[in-house]
Homo-oligomer: A and B are copies of this chain.
Amino acid sequence: MPRLYDFLPSGNGYKVRLLLTQLGRAFERIELDILKGETRTPAFLEKNPNGRIPLLELDNGEFLAESDAILFYLADGTAFLPSDRFDRARVLQWMFFEQYSHEPNIATVRFWMHSEMTDERRAMLDGKRKLGYAALEVMEQHLRGRTFFVGERYSIADIALYAYTHVADEGGFDLSGFPIIRCWLERVREQPRHIPITQG
């Protein structure tokens, strides 16, 4: 049974939990408190030298890091990842967008508000806010006339972007000006075997 090193409030961890659950795959979840430095211990750094969750441990003892790489691995050959070569690249395009333009702004501000808002962080808040709203604008525009991000089917691109968008308000992002995103969030929530981020 695969083992998932995880942290319940993490959207990156949630992506993997959600997909494993929707795939109907049993897994063991190991909770690590990143606020207490539990992903920076020598024992964990041996598993993932980058010191981050989520981390997937396979039955053969191999480790795989980076939430969206884990999603791709688990979804490969299932209905959650298209088989067409170009559509797969499109899914990756949205996952790289998520990790570069969305997560570092929307997720990071949420994390700061959950942990500690230092002066240094406060100084970066306006910049992050602006870039976070710009990412939401790109999503709103893309989803106009579409039901899901790629190929009109629910895929790991939707899972990756849902994770931190649906809790963007916890970082002070107001989604009331993004009606198309809000309808899409609802469609994602209606998918079979959906679980909330609070469920381990």
Report the minimal beta-carbon distance from A160 to chain B, rounded to whole angstroms: 11
Verify if A49 is at the interface (C-beta below 8 Å from B): yes
Total copies of the chain: 2
Interface residues of A in 32-68 (CB under 8 A from B): 49-50, 58, 62, 64-68
| Contacting residue for A104 out of B58, B100, B127, CB 8 A | B100
Verify if A138 is at the interface (C-beta below 8 Å from B): yes
Closest to A103 in B: B100
Verify if A23 is at the interface (C-beta below 8 Å from B): no
A50-B97 CB under 8 A given contacts A104-B104, A124-B124: yes
Closest to A77 in B: B85
Chain A: interface residue total (CB-CB under 8 A) = 37
A89 and B64 form a contact (CB under 8 A) = yes
State in angstroms the CA–CA spacing of A155 and B116 once bound together.
40
Verify if A90 is at the interface (C-beta below 8 Å from B): yes
Verify if A92 is at the interface (C-beta below 8 Å from B): yes
State in angstroms the CA–CA spacing of A85 and B65 once bound together.
15
Closest to A141 in B: B49
- As a 0/1 sequence over residues 58 to 85 of chain A, the CB contacts with chain B under 8 angstroms (1 = contact) are 1000101111111011001100000001
Verify if A1 is at the interface (C-beta below 8 Å from B): no
Q: Which of chain B's residues have a CB closer than 8 A to the CB of A58? A: 86
26 sample A-B contacts, Cβ–Cβ < 8 Å, listed by A number = A49-B138, A49-B141, A62-B86, A64-B86, A64-B89, A64-B90, A64-B93, A66-B92, A66-B97, A67-B96, A68-B92, A69-B96, A72-B92, A73-B85, A73-B88, A73-B89, A76-B85, A76-B89, A77-B85, A95-B96, A96-B99, A99-B100, A100-B100, A100-B104, A120-B123, A120-B127
